Structure 1
Amino acid sequence: MAKEREEEITKKPLIIAMKGHPGTGKSTLAHALASTLKFPLIDKDDIRDSSFPLHQQQPAASRHQLNDLSYEAVWRVATTQLHLGLSVIIDSPLSRRIHLDRLVELAASVGARIVIVECRPSDEVKWRERLEGREKSWHKPASWGELQELIKGYGGCSEYDVGDVPRMLVDTTTPNLGVEELVSSVVQFIASVWCPTPPPM
């Protein structure tokens, strides 16, 4: 039955847009979803990581410019995949409504569907341990304090109305709930939104 749901989901291009602050577990879930559904995964961090030489040349002025450039690269790569008829998983914080608007426009332009999978841990202690225990990166917060400063800098804009875009909230710190179970619940959610069971004859 799970295999049938996965096959139904893949019949029409779909954008699975991950959303969540650093350390929430969205990349782990995104990789697991991509492996299960066999969707191309476009990770904004991969693109941002490759911009380090530019950051070294202009560290003061480049932060926001490189971030915007990373998103632009994500949109372009996603556009190519969707035009080929492929579904995609986009792993980014999706912290501003303008980023979602761009995805909605992209989906409409190619006749694709879109769903948001937002990772929002309820256990702050586990979230902090996850954030501070992961591999360090030059453009990611390395401590809980740095993360709080980042969130403060958003000025509340990361909590926005997603309109009629289907969204699933995922608590990645739920006890005794592994990645496989989270993937299964996301697949079920997508199937319930985009592949509803027809009424009995």
Structure 2
Amino acid sequence: MAKELGEEITKKPLIIAMKGHPGTGKSTLAHALASALKFPLVDKDDIRDSTFPLHQQPQGSHALLNHLSYEAIWRVASTQLHLGISVIIDSPLSHRTHLDRLISLAASAGARLLIVECRPSDEAKWRERLEGREKSWHKPTSWEELQELIKGYGGCTEYDVGDVPKMVVDTTAPNLGLEELVSSVVRFIASS
């Protein structure tokens, strides 16, 4: 059913932009959506992981490598969209400038843009998820590291998305599994 809906809702290309802090479940949901809808998934972490050798160089700059990772996902997404292929972009979307870039990309490709923000209400489950996942050199590995990262954002992650349709998903809601989350997002996409 999701695949048929995926074909129906994409009369013109669609960008589904995931948003949320590390460990909120956005990558899990993004992978499940990509599988259900048969849309390519462009994951910022895949790009960022490939920069590890540069990170080890003395001249390697964390901020520059992060910026280059975003540039790479915008370009990959642009190619797909200009081919008429919808994409799911998995990134924190933590700065308004990232959303502005997606708005511009959508306009240039004649695509629709939707945001799916993962915001868990159960902090204990979120913490357990964050600290239990596979370790990565560029992601917070503890709750304390995550809190420092969020503090470093200085509130910039909470911004007005304007007219861009947005759905907020509680990825820790009781009795709500991944399949139900995917179904609710697909309904949101179909109705937007």
TM range (shorter): over 0.9
Distance, in Å, in 2 between the alignment partners of 1:32 and 1:4 is 15
Q: Which residue of 2 aligns with 1:32?
A: 32
Query: 1:4-43 counterparts in 2 under 5 A?
Result: 4-43=4-43
Q: Which residue of 2 aligns with 1:44?
A: 44
Q: Describe the SS at the equivalent of 1:16.
A: strand
Q: Does 1:69 align with 2:57?
A: no
Q: Which residue of 2 aligns with 1:179?
A: 178
The 8 Å contact of residues 2 and 36 in structure 2, kept in 1 or not, is answered as no
**1:99-152 deviations in whole A, cap 9, x for unaligned?**
000000000001000000000000000000000000000000000000000000
- Structure with bigger gyration radius: 1
Distance, in Å, in 1 between the alignment partners of 2:85 and 2:7 is 13
- TM-score, scaled to structure 1: 0.93
Q: Does 1:147 align with 2:152?
A: no
Q: What is the alpha-carbon root mean square deviation over aligned residues? A: 1.2
User: Once the 2 structures are TM-superposed, how far is the Cα of residue 10 of structure 1 from its aligned partner?
Assistant: 2.3
Letter in 2 for 1:17: A
- TM-score, scaled to structure 2: 0.97
User: Once the 2 structures are TM-superposed, how far is the Cα of residue 76 of structure 1 from its aligned partner?
Assistant: 0.4
Query: 1:105-184 counterparts in 2 under 5 A?
Result: 105-184=104-183
Stretches of structure 1 that go unaligned for 5 or more consecutive residues are 194-201
Distance, in Å, in 2 between the alignment partners of 1:165 and 1:21 is 19
Q: Describe the SS at the equivalent of 1:54.
A: helix
Distance, in Å, in 1 between the alignment partners of 2:78 and 2:3 is 27
User: Once the 2 structures are TM-superposed, how far is the Cα of residue 3 of structure 1 from its aligned partner?
Assistant: 5.6
Identity %: 83
Q: Which residue of 2 aligns with 1:199?
A: none
User: Once the 2 structures are TM-superposed, how far is the Cα of residue 97 of structure 1 from its aligned partner?
Assistant: 0.1
Deviates most, 101-110 or 3-12: 3-12
Q: Which residue of 2 aligns with 1:57?
A: 57
User: Once the 2 structures are TM-superposed, how far is the Cα of residue 4 of structure 1 from its aligned partner?
Assistant: 4.8
Q: Describe the SS at the equivalent of 1:89.
A: strand
**1:75-111 deviations in whole A, cap 9, x for unaligned?**
0000000011000000000000000000000000010
Distance, in Å, in 2 between the alignment partners of 1:150 and 1:121 is 17
The 8 Å contact of residues 3 and 36 in structure 2, kept in 1 or not, is answered as no
Query: 1:92-111 counterparts in 2 under 5 A?
Result: 92-111=91-110
Letter in 1 for 2:149: L
Distance, in Å, in 1 between the alignment partners of 2:6 and 2:18 is 18
Q: Describe the SS at the equivalent of 1:57.
A: coil
Stretches of structure 2 that go unaligned for 5 or more consecutive residues are none
Q: Describe the SS at the equivalent of 2:113.
A: strand
Distance, in Å, in 2 between the alignment partners of 1:14 and 1:2 is 15
Distance, in Å, in 1 between the alignment partners of 2:88 and 2:28 is 12
Distance, in Å, in 2 between the alignment partners of 1:2 and 1:113 is 18
